[in-house]
């Protein structure tokens, strides 16, 4: 697969972007956007997490969790001064990690980072790479087209009451931000039904579905809004919230009326398919400016 020619000497001098890949389609989407802009890319998929078969069609080197020295050496050998972290990575157990000597040397620092929320952990990892001379870029900086724009994205229009629920959800995320708690909530009729924590969005929506099916929460069909937004103090280069086809499917199964996100603060791939699916299920999808 041939790489696009650099658009300028300045771009060429930057070298390829190193993309550390977790699970899902986002890493390849970011890589393709970088290539279209004239940048080379080298993917470093994480063993046990990266799962997109298209990775094999791009320059790549597989890296085990904990092999920090191998990753940094690979980045330097490939000329990658700029680095992007993107994709789904669940916190592994310590017994699942194979540390190389660089990781062992940094182990006290890593252990301190594990004592806190995801933003604390990811920001700390970012600082470690910056201390080693790498420049961190956000996935949205490399591929701005993956950001959800402002406005209603499908055929279904949210009601005034549903937009009010969405804004309440944004307020909840802002207020919980200092505690480094998740990036999503579910609100119905100004009642907070669920807050995302370590379980992630999918399991939070499954919990909402179970609450309704058990009668614990009594709502009309298609009521409630999933709200997603970054935490106020979040390092947006490391962990922007995301939505996708699975988000729409889970929201529909939970009986929600729609999904609202912070415009420019949430990423999505396969946007057209996601919007079509939302229309099919009768869910609204809206980006709200902050």
Strand partners, 20: 44, 85
pLDDT of residue 7: 44
pTM of this structure: 0.81
- Max Cα separation, the chain? 63
Instruction: Look at residues 89, 91, 87, 90 and name the one whose alpha carbon lies nearest to residue 25.
Output: 87
Q: What are phi and psi of 205, to 5 degrees?
A: -70, -35
How far is Cα 227 from Cα 290, in angstroms, rounded to an integer? 13
Q: What domains does the chain contain, in order, with CATH numbers?
A: 9-142 (3.40.50.20), 147-288 (3.40.140.80)
pLDDT of residue 44: 95
pLDDT of residue 98: 79
pLDDT of residue 181: 80
Tens-level pLDDT at each residue, the chain (290 residues):
334 434 444 455 678 999 999 888 899 999 999 999 889 999 999 998 899 999 999 999 999 888 888 999 999 999 999 999 988 877 666 666 777 788 777 777 777 766 766 666 777 788 888 888 999 998 888 988 899 999 999 999 999 999 999 999 999 999 988 887 878 999 999 999 999 987 889 999 999 999 888 888 777 778 999 999 998 877 788 778 889 999 999 999 999 999 999 999 999 988 999 999 999 999 999 999 97
Strand partners, 88: 23
The sign of the dihedral angle between the CA atoms of 219, 222, 223, 225 is positive
Q: Which two tokens stand for residue 233?
A: 């103090």
Burial pattern 68-79, b for ≥16 Cβ within 10 A else e, equals bbbbbebbeebe
Report whether 78 contacts 18 (CB < 8 A).
Answer: yes
């Amino acid at each position: 697969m041939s790489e696009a020619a650099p658009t300028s000497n300045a771009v060429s001098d930057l070298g390829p972007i190193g993309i550390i890949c977790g699970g899902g389609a986002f890493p390849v989407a970011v890589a393709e956007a970088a290539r279209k802009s004239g940048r080379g890319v080298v993917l470093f998929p994480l063993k046990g997490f990266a799962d997109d078969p298209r990775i094999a069609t791009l320059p790549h080197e597989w890296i085990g969790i904990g092999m920090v020295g191998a990753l940094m050496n690979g980045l330097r050998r490939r000329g990658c001064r700029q680095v992007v972290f993107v994709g789904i990575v669940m916190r592994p157990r310590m017994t699942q990690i194979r540390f190389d000597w660089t990781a062992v040397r940094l182990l006290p620092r890593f252990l301190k980072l594990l004592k806190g929320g995801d933003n604390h952990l990811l920001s700390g990892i970012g600082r470690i790479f910056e201390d080693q001379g790498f420049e961190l870029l956000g996935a949205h900086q490399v591929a701005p087209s993956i950001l959800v724009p402002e406005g209603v994205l499908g055929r279904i229009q949210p009601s005034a009451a549903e937009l009010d629920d969405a804004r309440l959800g944004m307020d909840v995320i802002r207020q919980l931000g200092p505690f480094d708690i998740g990036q999503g909530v579910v609100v119905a009729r100004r009642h907070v039904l669920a807050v995302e924590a370590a379980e992630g969005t999918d399991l939070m929506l499954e919990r909402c579905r179970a609450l309704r099916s058990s009668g614990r929460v009594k709502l009309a069909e298609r009521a409630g809004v999933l709200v997603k937004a970054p935490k106020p103090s979040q390092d947006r280069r490391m962990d922007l919230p995301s939505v996708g086809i699975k988000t729409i499917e889970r929201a529909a199964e939970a009986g929600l009326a729609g999904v609202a996100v912070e415009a420019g603060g949430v990423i999505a791939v396969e946007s057209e398919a996601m919007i079509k699916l939302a229309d099919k299920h009768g869910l609204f999808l809206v980006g709200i400016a902050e």
